[in-house]
Structure 1
């Protein structure tokens, strides 16, 4: 027998059941996302926090390097062809792969990159070795290897890429869980002093939302550096752009020397307003000397422009101006400078360092909120 209590209290409006089901689904989705956000955040967020903290330090890598090694400072940042020739002749047999030219406003010495990961620093006037660094004897290089590959080589880089995508998911689910009803935006952004559960929750969500654009930019550009080929294909496909031109092919006799003073002079005129940044010894039998360059208007600290000249320094073979590329290619090459804070001056540099601290703050406040809430049950 059906009782009166089992009957509806009034007429059921059209769509009532569908609205109830939709509300139930939203609540179920929200509960599931909240659970994932908590536990994935506590696990993957720990790695994300450590990587972020290391990135905050590495933003000031060159400043810390010269503070730690004052012998690298006080030099005239001048690229002398004879000195360059001497460094390459002495160190190429020992694994020197490329040389970064002395940089005005940066490290004013020659910086050598070796195949085994070492970095050598050479006096710009004499070519004398001033410092040899590696991850085994230098804490900044150790920190750099942790930041880019979790000290695990190619496998560590892949793991870091997965953590990066998880971090993007955490940021977006956090935004979804925070999103308020109409008219309550400012209320949801308020940070409270107490009680503890409310304090940690509001500090966690409000700081995350307010700084979300900066942290999301740092995270996506980091992922973009790991999956560079995929990001480049997507951006150039959507906005246009091609890859850099291939190096010209020219054969030279094995005993043809490189006239480095003339080569530097000629290459330096290839891009008016540009600055040569890196070079290396030409391949055996090749008549082509390659340079990286930073043209006026490029964000990348080392530039993505390219210059190729012959060994004798008499012929400019190719000059690729990275600023003349289509938007997709230029957007791709903006990923690295945006990630390391090398654009926008000191303000953006400090903002990038601050973004690296935020994952640790979110991890700690999220953990404290979970612990306090759990203790009240």
Structure 2
């Protein structure tokens, strides 16, 4: 137990601040749509999914000289389309008729963009994504070892939002009780975050349900060569075919070919899908607008369907306001636990009790004696 306590303390002391920042940024990102509705024109507009509107918008946006690579369409909670360009950080918000409302060329120009870049990539692209996933796994170990350390002290459990006293013993008492209480939420947040960032971890979690080879084969795009993109492409024909393939589904993302010979791709979200942009796909020839292939997300292997739950659960894209508040609590709890672990560790890295008698007098002998070891 002593070794476990030492490992837990050092883990918290070394990565606690990063976990705290990830928790805080995650809690803020849960409310990104509300922030945009309050600050960006047309963000509160009602969602429009009729074929005529979508086709006219796509024709207008993709006809511009500096056309985007893809369009993420408005949702029920956010009335803006997001345009993404070939340049990594260049993007724009447009209304549902295709008129650009705000554009930027750097993530630092938009608070929600740089906040997401930090939370998902730690400002370091793919390398930061891997580090973030590793932090998620370390956080999981932090929670599990914390539960083991808390168990012998469970009889003195107290529910407090903030430590009763800011002594080392008082903070440790609060830290363990709060961590134990919110452990299920923290495990959910950390596990789904790590699974999204680390492919091998995601595959390991789904291995009991579907093999890696089966999931990879199911997600492989069609090997069909398309023609050059037509200047006068019939977008009504394209959108109509997509809707006919998946009746009742939302059109979520329209993507142009990345290179010569590629296909137009439309992502759809069926009612049963939790993923906000769905995983049902339809592909079209860029010259004729003819549908050449499709993939139903509901027919994917079980492991793939379980993997598609990671993002909506992690980012609170299901469950409405109640679940968004739950995940906000999870993020803020991680912030508090991580920050206070750093304070207690660097205030006394050795872990040896200092002025134990004074601390016991202030906080109570029975409780603080257990948390000063």
TM-score by length of 1: 0.81
Secondary structure of residue in 2 paired with 1:354: helix
Q: 1:213 to 1:179 in 2, by over 3 A?
A: same
**Pairing 1:129-208 to 2, within 5 Å after superposition:** 129-133=100-104, 134-180=106-152, 185=154, 187-191=155-159, 193=164, 196-208=167-179
Q: Structure 2 CA distance, aligned partners of 1:144 and 1:321?
A: 29
Residue aligning to 1:233: 203
* Deviation digits for residues 213-260 of structure 1 (CA, Å, limit 9, x no counterpart): 110110111111111x32443244310252324224144366574211
The answer to whether the Cα contact below 8 Å between 2:4 and 2:145 also exists between their aligned partners in 1 is yes
TM value normalised by structure 2 = 0.82
Partner of 1:84: 58
Native 8 Å contact 2:284 2:290 kept in 1: yes
Structure 1 unaligned blocks of 5 or more? 1-29
Paired residue secondary structure (1:90): coil
Task: State the aligned residue count.
Answer: 339
Per-residue CA shift, 1:111-153, capped at 9, x if unaligned?
101232222122222x221111441211221111111111122
Q: Is the 8 A contact 1:266 1:313 kept in 2?
A: no
Structural RMSD (CA): 2.6
The answer on whether the counterparts of 1:59 and 1:353 sit within 8 Å (CA) in structure 2 is yes
Given the superposition, is the C-alpha separation of residues 366 and 287 from structure 1 closer, same or farther in structure 2, using an over 3 Å criterion? Answer: closer
SS in 1 for 2:89: coil
Aligned equivalents of 1:75, 1:281: Cα separation in 2: 26
Whole-Å separation in 2 of the counterparts to 1:75 and 1:343: 19
> Per the alignment, do residues 288 and 116 of structure 1 end up closer, same or farther by CA in structure 2, a change over 3 Å counting?
closer
Conservation of the 8 A alpha-carbon contact between 2:285 and 2:291 = yes
Match of 2:83 in 1: 112
1:17 corresponds in structure 2 to none
Q: For 1:52-74, what per-residue CA distance to the aligned partner results, in whole angstroms no more than 9, with x for missing partners?
A: 10000001111111212134333
Structure number with higher relative contact order (C-alpha < 8 Å, ≥ 6 residues apart): 2
Runs of 4+ in 1 over 6 A off after TM superposition: none
Q: Which has the larger radius of gyration?
A: 1
**Against the structure 1 CA distance between its residues 205 and 265, is the aligned structure 2 distance closer, same or farther, given a 3 Å change threshold?**
same
> What is the aligned partner in structure 2 of residue 376 from structure 1?
355
Match in the other structure for 2:256 = 281
